[in-house]
Structure formats: C-alpha cells, structure tokens
Structure 1
Amino acid sequence: MTKIKLALCQINVIDDKDANLENARLMINKASQKSDFIVLPEMFNCPYSNDKFIEYCEEEKGSYTLDKISSLAFENNVYILAGSIPEKEDDKLFNTSYLFDRQGKIIAKHRKMHLFDIDVKDKITFKESDVLTAGNEFTIADTEFGKVGIGICYDIRFPELARIMTENGALILFYPGAFNMTTGPAHWQLLFRSRALDNQVYCVGVAPALNKDASYHSYGHSIVTSPWGEVLAEAGQKEEIIFCEIDLSEIKKVREELPLLKNKREDLYKVIEK
C-alpha cells in the first residue's frame, strides 16, 4: 500500500482533561470515516504550561488518556499518533508521543529529545527543562505502510535527527508540535518544507488550535509537506480537521530525479547514530 489517507486533528485544548479527551474522541470518530492514520497535537490533553504538565501528568501503565486513545484506534480500525502527553516515570516528567496501531496496541513511543528552552527578547520566554526531562532515543516505527519517524515540536529544528530517522528507513516524519505566535509565523512552514526537502520524505506537523484564553498561544497551522518541499495541506488557526492523501511512491520518484541522498559525500562527512 503506497497511498495513505492522513487526518490532522487540530484540537482546541483547554484546561479540562475530560473535555479535551471528549473533543479528541469526537474528532477521531469523524476523521476515521475518511482516513487510515490520525494525528493529534502536542499536549492534546493538557494546556501547554509547565505547571499544567505537573498537574496533568500520567504514568504510561494505567494511563487514563492512553487507554481512551487505544480504544478509539481499535474501534475505528485506524492508526493514531497520540500527539503527546506529560508522561511521568518515577520522579521524572517527559513530553511523550505514542503511536497506536489498528488494534489499539502501542507500537512506538517518543520522548521529546530537544527541550524547548528559549528567550526571544520582549516576545516569549519558555523553559521546558524546568520540569521536563529530555528523551534520548530515536524513534522509528514499522507500520503496514512502511517506516515512520517521530519527533516532537522543537525536535524539528535539529536536522541531524531527521536525517538519522531517514537513514533508518522512515518515509514520513511526524512532529506533533505547538509553535507559538512568535516562532510560528517565522519558522513553522519553513522548517517542515526544509526537513521534507532535505530528506525527500513527507513531513507532518499537528498543533493545537489557537486558544486566546490560554497562557500559551499556539500558532496552529497543522501541515503536510511533500518530498519536493511543497505544502500539500495546511490549516489555519482555528479548530479543524485537515485531510490529506499522500503517495509514498512519490518518494522514489523524487529521489531518482534529484538524488540528494546518493550524492552525499560520506567520504567527508556522515551523521552517525550513537
């Protein structure tokens, strides 16, 4: 199977876990009617705020959120990439994404590797590392469509990660994210087009909708970009579902026409997975 019907659920996340999960359920049920693979945003059950990460965190075993997403994947016979949630393990918190197959089984998890610690003068300051711990594992999952790679938000700014996932066979790179109103307009689309073009893969980003009542304002603009670096689909800032069919055979075509990966000078440089 080379064609995949994607559904990007740009959820309006509020300060109410049950309401967020009910909203996710409704969107997943609707999206499943026209898709094989559904993607949720970063922190889809939780406001994007350090204090809320602590309040909303869940352990993987017996997770209220993950159990619901597992059931929805099984009931709707779809893959679901559950954006991310604040995951607790022992005394540490992680920003973690989970991929469920059609049977509702977790087939991959990714802990955000690059924590969002920034200070843009007079615009935005945020420091995830005040409460979160960085993950240390590359995440490439096998699906019926082929291999996919998973990063989270700020991870997309690091081309080495995308290249390692590509070198390990990933055909689609997923980055649930929540860029803000400063970095989003400047870099969101540019980064997704660049990572797709650099590696001649599909790149998918899914963000929460803009909630002006929240302390953190998500840029939205969930997006799908092609191996040629084109924008195939893009949302606005409001809550919505974006549907996009992609054809993995396009990757081979583009790589034959423009053999970037073959033309690398690995006698001079190489990205090595440690």
Structure 2
Amino acid sequence: MRTLRLALIQLAVTDDKATNISRAIAFVERAKQRGADVVALPECFNSPYGTAHFSNFAENIPAGETSLALSAAAKINEICIIGGSIPERDGGQLFNTCTVWDSQGKFIGKYRKMHLFDVDIEGKISFKESDTLTAGDELLTFQVKGWKVGLGICHDIRFEELARLYRNLGCQLMIYPGAFEVTVTGPLHWSLLQRSRANDAQLYVAGVSSAKVDGSGFETYGHTQLTDPWGKVLNELEFAEDMIVADIDMTVVDEVRTQIPIFGQRRDDLYETAWIKN
C-alpha cells in the first residue's frame, strides 16, 4: 500500500489513570471514524510524567489494565494502535515502554525507551529519569499495510544513530511518542529534532506529544508534529488536546532517497553506525 493514514493523538493527561485510558480509547474511536489505519498516543499517556508517579502507575505488559484496554480497542475498531508509552513494571525494574497492537488486537511487541532523560539546565529544569527507570536495549520494527515502522520515545529522538539503525532496517516511518517540556527543550528542539531525523534518515517522522496541562508539575510543550522525508512539516498542533489525521505517501520516501542518495554515498570505509548488541 503506497499511502497510510495516521492519527496522532495529543492527549491531556491527568492524575486519574482510568480517565486517561478512557479518553485515549475515545480518541481511537474518533480516529477510526476518520479512516485512520494507525493511531499513535503520546508518552506516558496513562500517567502524569514524573519520577514520583512512575512506580504508582506502573503495570505489567501485556497483562495490565492499559494493555488490555488497548488490545480491545484495536480489535473493536480494527485499527493498529501505537500505545505511546506507559510505566512498565517487570520484576524489580521500571521501564518507559511503548506497546504496539495490530488491527485484530494482537500484541505485536514493545519498545523500552533506550536513552533516559537526565538533564540539568541551570535555572530552568532538572530531571533524572534514571532515578527510577531502567533503559531499554532492544529495537522494535513492525509492518502495517506495507510500511515498515520504527519506534523511539522522546529523548531518543536526540540520537541520530538510532534513526539511522532503523533506516538500515528498511523503515519508512519513525514514531516518537514524547513529552518535551515547555520552557526550554520544547520550543528550541522539539520541531528541529523531528525535521533533523526525517532529513537524516529520509523517512516520515511523527512526534506525538501530550497536551500542555497548566499546573501539572511537568508541563509538556504539545506541538504534535508530522514531518515528511524532505524535512517539511506537514501538520502541527499547538498546546491543547487535539488530533492530527493525515495521509503519508511511500512515493515521497522513494523520491527523496532516489534524488538525494546519501545512503549509497556513505564512506563505510571510514565510518559506520551498526547495531552491536548480540
């Protein structure tokens, strides 16, 4: 299939898990009504974003209540769901994890955030995910209607190497659920990084943020965005809860890669980016 209809959900996340899940499912239903093939949710869509919340909201995957709700919604609506991310509990460890469900509600797999958000910007923001979370160490790709899709989560988008690994695996689309903060990193870097990764790897990039909720402790920047392989921003939201529904075209991927063939011009005799985990 040459075209794929994406729905990107900018959800207003509260401190009530049941409300977050039900609102997410309502958006899934709306996405299906608008003909979407794939719907993507934001980072930590069932939980407030913050180290103080991760343990309290964490669940088993795929047996937890959020996973069960996503599976049922995917099956009922016959739509592929990229489950943003939720705090995952596995034994004694916590992860920031994205789940993927096919249009029959089957669990395809999960991606655990690989690069944890540990920053200290003087006078602005200090945050350390590694205080509570463990970093993932596996890639995840999946197929939907002839498209190969790769996943990263939020801070992962800063690492060009990750996008290149996914491009090496044949991906035409990257999805990054995110929650960039509103003071510094969101305004300066969120759009820039999406355009950069789209240009670097010559694929579509969807950055799916939660909405800005005033007084929530960690206020996210919003601005969910869809970028094409030329680096052109096709759609962008602002701060409020909303949804993008848009078609992407494989022809554009082919066009860019043929006309600017950088992956055939790399000096592999001098440098390389390769997956080294056994």
Instruction: Say whether the fold is shared (TM-score over 0.5).
Output: yes
- Note the 1:43-192 alignment, pairs <5 A: 43-181=44-182, 182-192=184-194
Match of 1:200 in 2: 202
Contact 2:179 2:210 in 1 (8 A): yes
1:9 alignment partner in structure 2: 9
Match of 2:19 in 1: 19
Which residue identity lines up with residue 164 of structure 1 in the other structure? L
What SS is found at the alignment partner of 1:31? helix
- Name stretches of at least 5 consecutive residues in structure 1 with no aligned partner: none
Question: What is the aligned partner in structure 1 of residue 248 from structure 2?
Answer: 246
Equivalent pairs counted in the alignment come to 274
> Structure 1, residues 37-71: CA drift from partner, whole Å, max 9, x if none?
10000000000011110100001142100100111
Identical amino acids, percent of aligned pairs? 44
Runs of 4+ in 1 over 2 A off after TM superposition: 142-146
Which stretches in structure 2 are left out of the alignment for 5+ residues? none
Cα deviation code 1:241-272 (max 9, x no counterpart): 11111001211111111111111111111101
Q: 1: CA distance between counterparts of 2:252 and 2:210?
A: 29
- Contact 2:113/2:153 (8 A) holds in 1: yes
**Counterpart residue type for residue 238 of structure 2:** G
The corresponding residue for 2:262 is: 260
Q: What's the CA shift for 1:144?
A: 2.6
The one-letter code sitting in structure 1 at the alignment partner of 2:158 is: R
SS at match of 1:83: coil
CA deviation vs aligned residue, 1:174-194 (integer Å, no higher than 9, x gap): 100000012000000000000
Distance in 1 (CA, whole Å) between partners of 2:264 and 2:109 is 29
Does the CA contact (< 8 Å) of 2:58 and 2:87 recur in 1? yes
The CA distance in 2 between the partners of 1:242 and 1:175, in whole Å, is: 15
In structure 1, the residue matched to 2:274 is: 272
Match of 2:31, SS state, is helix
What is the distance in 2 between the residues matched to 1:206 and 1:110?
Answer: 15
Distance 1:53 1:23 in 2: 20
Q: TM-score, normalised by structure 2?
A: 0.97
Question: Does structure 1 conserve the Cα–Cα contact (< 8 Å) formed by 2:4 and 2:145?
Answer: no
Q: Does structure 1 residue 33 correspond to structure 2 residue 33? A: yes
Which whole-Å deviations, capped at 9, do the CAs of 1:98-121 have from their partners, x for residues lacking one?
111101111121000000000000
Q: Distance in 1 between matches of 2:49 and 2:155?
A: 14
Measured in 2, the distance between the counterparts of 1:108 and 1:222 equals 24
